[in-house]
Amino acid sequence: MFIKRWGREMTIDFVILWVDNHDPRWQLKKNQYNSDSETLNGAERYRDYGTLKYWFRMVEENAPWVNKIHFVTDHQIPSWLNIRHRKLHIVYHEDFMPRDTLPTFNSNAIQMYIHKIEGLSEHFVLFDDDMFIVKPIKTNIFFDKNGLPKDVFGFNVINPVDDFAHIFINNLKVINENYSKRKVVESHFFKIFNWRYGLINLVNFYLLPFSTFTRFFDIHLPYAYRKSQYQSVMNSYAKQQELTGHHRFREVTDISHWLVRYVRLVQGEFTPMNKGNGKLQYLGEQLKTRNKLLTISDRPMTDEQFSRTIHQLQQAFEKKYKKSTFEK
């Protein structure tokens, strides 16, 4: 789909990262290396819901305007996937990542280089495989008419309960070292306090007196990016990019793609979005499809509980979404 931008047409691509944790070859490769943190690299970080085909069904039904889908994988192709689809671009890690970073089992590392994917459009949306488009959407849910990404500028606090909190801290450290909160608030006051954010405005007001950023509100929905800004941020923080990019597994010194978000927030390079566009829920909760975007996050459970919950989720999606042309 093309949308008008300053009199020109703008294309929007989707990027999705996927791993099949049941693949014996992938397991063998992964087991050749060791991870120091089970919290950062436990089984739930790699578990496949078996819902990828439904992700494609939802895209075709609810976002048929997408220009190209860049499917990023470590040579793992689902048997049902129609690899000849004109909108599908299969991308292997070595296609865009430095050779000395491979193999990698770290999504943060992969995200350090996605702007280098060949043929990626200037405007793209990054998905995890647990993020779904459950209702029809238009392009303006991700970008405004001038090509600026839609986002929520919300303050938050870090509540460290596991090693994953280090990633928030690392991203935030970069921001606080390079940007003055006072100047950001003065420059972008009405992008920080906006009616579209709902109750987040109250949190912003409460945390306003703190002299530095204590954390940003992370929306946990598909992330709209401009490739040029993504590349600019990675170039500006090349040391952090290289460090994370060479970690085969998640480590406590990692940054993530959220750093690109944070930079655009403090620079005001976004348009406020309606927080109600999407919903975050957890596996095992009753499926909520009232919002247009849905993220279903994993949580600790036994293998038996996981299998039963995933089966129920697959059944619910199977009833609602018909087979797509992305399937053989």
Q: Which domains does the chain have, with CATH numbers?
A: 2-320 (3.90.550.10)
Rg (CA), the chain: 19
Q: How far is CA 190 from the centre of its chain?
A: 26
> Counting Cβ atoms within 10 Å, is residue 319 exposed (0-12), middle (13-18) or buried (19+)?
exposed
Instruction: Please give the pLDDT value at position 68.
Output: 98
Measured distance CA(115)–CA(185) in Å, rounded? 29
Instruction: Please give the pLDDT value at position 2.
Output: 47
Quickly count helices (H) and strands (E) in the chain: 12, 11
Measured distance CA(168)–CA(186) in Å, rounded? 24
Instruction: Please give the pLDDT value at position 44.
Output: 52
On whether the CB atoms of residues 278 and 292 are closer than 8 A, the answer is: yes
Positions in the chain short of pLDDT 70:
1-9, 35-47
On whether the CB atoms of residues 15 and 128 are closer than 8 A, the answer is: no
Q: How far is CA 91 from the centre of its chain?
A: 17
Among residues 267, 263, 198, which one has the least CA distance to residue 233?
Answer: 263
